[in-house]
């Protein structure tokens, strides 16, 4: 499935994705304000399958996983960034949202259509057919993503333990 | 083989003789700390879905701080469900006693060499006690609560090595803002930061906690300080037992990812401009920016010693006209101690407003938030756009000394002028 790129800058913090003011509410409320302080069109325009592309240190700040959850709730298919803050990175994988490091994002322009090939760790630009290399995920994280996140993964594990 | 403090703790928790940076290790968790925001309300539905309880209730500590004092209907409901959960699982629960990162060591829960996870990004604070403590999100925390285990990629270690001694009016907060300015918010690369050197050894535990706390702003997974006699004495006073801590140090010659050398003796009070802790510069260089609000709060900047430093400036002074000084002591115990020592009276006489022992404006979850176009100077750790209130508000970060001095002057100012006046020696 292809989606559009929403291109963002460096150091996009989790307060922007899940603003403190709305943290007492549910995910619908948080998602409705996701990244509105960075670009106002994001929560209203983003569609299922779109890809967030960003610069360095995406997800810096608070450990609130509603940051990753809000992106997933809005249908974001993946986040591709030059680097991620550690806690956000783990949260996203745990929630089943693919997050991939892309050392060179210069070919990725705002609004361009792309398709993610998770297995090959590439982004394919729809119009030109060009591919952009992503860093492959470590094996343990591939397993987590393939299971759909940490909860389904643990369910499998507990079911296995019960069988034994 | 020469190894780092981080490697030693992780190897112990993994049940291995040795771990190598870059390898994935599964470790047993010695303690899990959760709070009212990422805790019960988020983990309970997952535990139910998995159909399991806690791996070990005696290794779980719950602290309410984010929605305290429950000044919204939803916040009050979240606090009520937090209390019910504590009863149901019979975990150690500190309710309304202050901010988790300060309450946890204050109540003797931390011991050098432990592997600890916390459901909050400033969980790095525990590193001041020689524990490998790091922050995780709620789903991952639910996994820890269910299994008692977590995976991590064994980190490289980078030293932030402080030569010399701090001068009067310069604090751990200034050290951290300067470090953020030097290596940036991703300078830690999600590896282990270890603070070393004469200036670090010379700090009290609460000041060391400020260093470890802001490892989060450097992008470190952990912010470690090797335990010493100061650590052991604090733990003993808190009713804990430091145990054998002599093995908890990085071997001389162990491979490091980086070794940043900083000079404490020449460090001046720092201020970080909106909207990043990395926008740090000496206060003497930033110019006299007018302020509307001065905030002394958070795990970073409202512990007993932070309050004491601010009061040293505010003694016999009053808050400038048009400026609001807000003080939210980080824990109830720290506030009580400050009351006994006359520190709280100094704040009240100076015209400060005292807020509850909770995350308060720093988390921005409650009704206290910065209004449109307000400029604030704050002793907290983060000045991201809109975090503490309106997107149009501006937050400068500084030490409690500098925040207090700026509250009097109505503009950002070097606090040392006030200390010289108060001490009678310039």
Question: What mean pLDDT is reported for chain B?
Answer: 97
Condensed to tens digits (0 to 9), the pLDDT of residues B196-228 reads 999 999 999 999 999 999 999 999 999 999 999
Please judge whether A140 and B151 are an interchain contact, meaning their C-beta atoms are less than 8 angstroms apart: yes
Q: Chain A interface, mutation test: which of B53, B82, B124, B186, most A Cβ atoms within 10 Å?
A: B186
Q: Which of A20, A89, A149 lies at the smallest CB-CB distance from B363?
A: A20
Q: How many CB pairs under 8 A join A and B?
A: 117
Q: What is the pLDDT at residue B425? A: 37
Which of chain A's residues have a Cβ under 8 Å away from the Cβ of B46? 151
Interface of A with B (CB under 8 A): 11, 13, 15-16, 19-21, 23-25, 37, 56-57, 60-65, 68, 83, 85-87, 89-91, 94-95, 138, 140, 149-151, 154-155, 158
Residue B299 · residue B97 · CB < 8 Å: no
Q: Chain A residue with minimal CA distance to B34?
A: A63
Partner A contacted by B136 (CB < 8 A): yes
Is there a cis peptide before residue A80, judged by omega within 30 degrees of 0?
Answer: no
pLDDT of residue A162: 64
Give the chain B residue whose CA is nearest to the CA of A62.
B121
From CA B131, how far away is CA B119, in angstroms rounded? 16
DSSP letter for B165, please.
Answer: -
Q: Per-residue pLDDT tens for A49-76? A: 999 999 999 999 999 999 999 999 999 9
Cα torsion B73, B75, B81, B83: sign? negative
Chain-centre distance for alpha carbon B216: 9
Q: Do B137 and A65 touch (CB under 8 A)?
A: yes
Report the alpha-carbon distance of residue B271 to residue B412 in Å, rounded: 9
Nearest to B38 by CA among B82, B5, B88: B82
Q: Which class for A51: exposed (0-12), middle (13-18), buried (19 or more C-beta within 10 A)?
A: buried
Q: How far is CA B344 from CA A103, A149, B12, B349, in A?
A: 51, 48, 44, 9
Check CB contact under 8 Å for A24 and B78. yes
Reduced to 3 states (helix: H, G, I; strand: E, B; else coil), residue B221 is: coil
Q: What's the pLDDT score for residue B423?
A: 45
Q: Using the predicted structure, report yes or no on whether residue B158 has a pLDDT greater than 80.
A: yes
With a threshold of 0.90, tell me whether the complex ipTM lies above it. yes
- Answer yes or no: do B386 and A86 touch at CB < 8 A: no
CA distance B217 to chain A (A): 7
pLDDT beyond 50 at B400: yes
Average pLDDT, chain A: 96
Which pairs count as long-range contacts for A40-46, CB under 8 Å and 24+ apart, including other chains?
A: A42/A6, A43/A74, A46/A6, A46/A74, A46/A75, A46/A76
Contact between B289 and B311 under an 8 Å Cβ cutoff? The reply is no
Residue pLDDT, tens place only, B9-47:
999 999 999 999 999 999 999 999 999 999 999 999 999
pLDDT the model gives residue B421: 57
Q: What is the DSSP letter of B352?
A: P
Model-level pTM? 0.97
């Amino acid at each position: 499935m292809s989606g559009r790129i929403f291109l963002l800058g460096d150091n996009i913090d989790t307060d922007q994705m899940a603003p403190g003011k709305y943290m007492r509410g549910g995910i619908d409320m948080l998602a409705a304000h996701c990244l509105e302080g960075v670009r106002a069109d994001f929560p209203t325009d983003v569609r299922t399958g779109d890809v967030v592309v960003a610069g360095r240190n995406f997800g810096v700040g608070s450990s609130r996983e509603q940051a990753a959850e809000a992106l997933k709730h809005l249908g974001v298919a993946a986040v591709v960034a030059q680097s991620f803050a550690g806690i956000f990175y783990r949260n996203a994988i745990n929630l089943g949202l693919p997050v991939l490091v892309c050392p060179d994002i210069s070919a990725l322009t705002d609004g361009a259509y792309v398709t993610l090939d998770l297995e090959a760790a590439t982004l394919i630009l729809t119009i030109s057919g060009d591919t952009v290399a992503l860093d492959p995920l470590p094996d343990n994280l591939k397993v987590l993503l393939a299971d759909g996140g940490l909860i389904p993964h643990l369910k499998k594990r507990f079911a296995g333990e019960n069988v034994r | 083989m020469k190894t780092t403090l981080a490697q030693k703790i992780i190897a112990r928790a993994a049940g291995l003789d040795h771990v190598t940076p870059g390898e994935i290790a599964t470790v047993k968790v010695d303690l899990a700390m959760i709070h009212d925001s990422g805790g019960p309300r988020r983990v309970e539905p997952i535990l139910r879905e998995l159909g399991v309880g806690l791996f070990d209730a005696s290794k779980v500590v719950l602290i309410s701080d984010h929605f305290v004092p429950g000044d919204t209907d939803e916040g009050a409901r979240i606090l009520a469900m937090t209390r019910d959960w504590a009863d149901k699982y019979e975990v150690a629960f500190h309710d309304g006693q202050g901010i988790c990162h300060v309450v946890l060591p204050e109540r003797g829960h931390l011991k050098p060499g432990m592997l600890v996870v916390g459901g909050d990004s400033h969980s790095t604070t525990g590193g001041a006690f020689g524990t490998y403590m790091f922050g995780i999100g709620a789903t991952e925390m639910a996994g820890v609560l269910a299994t008692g285990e977590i995976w991590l990629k064994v980190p490289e270690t980078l030293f932030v090595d402080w030569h010399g001694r701090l001068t009067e009016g310069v604090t751990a907060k200034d050290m951290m803002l300067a470090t953020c300015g030097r290596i940036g918010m991703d300078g830690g690369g999600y590896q282990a930061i270890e603070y070393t050197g004469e200036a670090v050894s010379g700090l009290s535990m609460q000041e060391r906690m400020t260093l470890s706390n802001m490892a989060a702003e450097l992008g470190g997974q952990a912010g470690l300080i090797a335990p010493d006699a100061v650590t052991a004495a604090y733990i003993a006073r808190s009713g804990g037992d430091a145990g054998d801590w002599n093995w908890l140090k990085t071997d001389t010659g162990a491979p490091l990812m980086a070794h940043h050398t900083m000079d404490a003796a020449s460090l001046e009070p720092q201020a970080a401009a909106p909207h990043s802790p990395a926008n740090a510069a000496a206060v003497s260089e930033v110019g006299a920016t007018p302020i509307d609000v001065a905030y002394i709060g958070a795990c970073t900047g409202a512990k007993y010693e932070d309050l004491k430093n601010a009061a040293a400036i505010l003694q016999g002074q009053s808050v400038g006209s048009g400026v609001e000084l807000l003080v939210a002591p980080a824990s109830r115990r720290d506030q009580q101690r400050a009351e006994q020592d006359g520190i709280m009276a100094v704040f009240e006489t100076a015209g400060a407003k005292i807020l509850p022992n909770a995350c308060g404006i720093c988390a921005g979850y409650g009704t206290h938030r910065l209004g449109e176009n307000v400029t604030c100077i704050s002793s907290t750790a983060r000045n991201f756009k809109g975090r503490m209130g309106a997107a149009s508000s501006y937050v400068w970060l500084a030490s409690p000394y500098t925040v207090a001095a700026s509250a009097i002057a109505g503009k950002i100012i070097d606090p040392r002028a006030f200390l010289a006046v108060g001490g009678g020696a310039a």
